[in-house]
Amino acid sequence: MFSDPIIENLKYYVYILVDPSNNKPFYIGKGIGNRVFSHLKNEIEDESKISLKQALIKNIQDQGKDVEIYIVRHGLNEKEAFEIEATLIDFIQLRNLTNEIVEHDYKEEIPAKNLANIVLGHHAGERGLMTLNEILQLYGAEEANITDPVIIININRKYKRGMSPNEIYEATRASWVISKDRSQKAKFVLASFRGIVKEVFYVNHWQQSKNSNRLEFEGGVAQLEIAEKYRNKAITNYLKTGAQNPIRYVNC
């Protein structure tokens, strides 16, 4: 644990957790105080809900080893820490630095080729890793004028370049914590990736997802007139900067 004088000097910092068995980074974070040590407690109450990060730490600790910690930058303010964290996450994801399979005692093997961060770094959806075309599209796209009752669903974590409309539909339709009343008013769902509408779907009805209290919709790709009205349009004016909720209601 850091002493008070160390904490005062560190201010905000960005850190990396490394697996000592292969010297590969598996988690990047930012923090203040003793935030970095909170991961090592690794208190798991329900093993059926264990995260990738927790499983990796447990695997290391079960081997009698210690997770290696690197402080990448310190003496930062919060904004600087956010930006450095997001940049490092993008870099390591791009380089695919870890390619091994981590063996453990759980039901599945954990592929370690990606970081164990549950969400991408701060601002990754807005200023994260993008192709040239995505940059041009994001900053040069015409702003959408949403006049229909729609639900915007952010699929940043599910979207992959080159997905077909049907694949985007499957990535968008389920399963969400969403208002039952407001969802009934929506005629269309806009699948959003980094502030750009990737596809437009009509909604037949919403229903409860299997084995979940979340909702999913049944529908399909909207008719051409509606699809062209919103597809590839920017909707940044309808999105709240830094918001974690992937759901936005418009005219509902």
Quickly tell me which residue has 């299997």 as its tokens: 210
Question: Residue 79 and residue 85: Cα distance in Å, rounded?
Answer: 10
Say how far apart CA 24 and CA 66 lie, in whole Å. Answer: 13
> What pLDDT digit, counting tens, does each position of 179-214 carry?
989 999 999 999 999 889 999 999 999 999 987 889
Token pair listed for 95: 């380089």
Report the predicted TM-score, pTM, of the whole model to 2 decimal places. 0.55
Can you read off the two tokens belonging to residue 212? 């979940």
Per-residue model confidence as pLDDT tens digits over 61-108: 999 998 888 888 898 999 999 999 988 888 877 765 444 433 333 333
- Helix H or strand E encompassing 69: strand 68-76
Q: Answer whether the bond into residue 175 is a cis peptide, omega within 30°.
A: yes
8 A C-beta contact, residue 231 and residue 200:
yes
**129-161 residue pLDDT tens:** 455 566 657 667 889 999 999 999 999 889 987
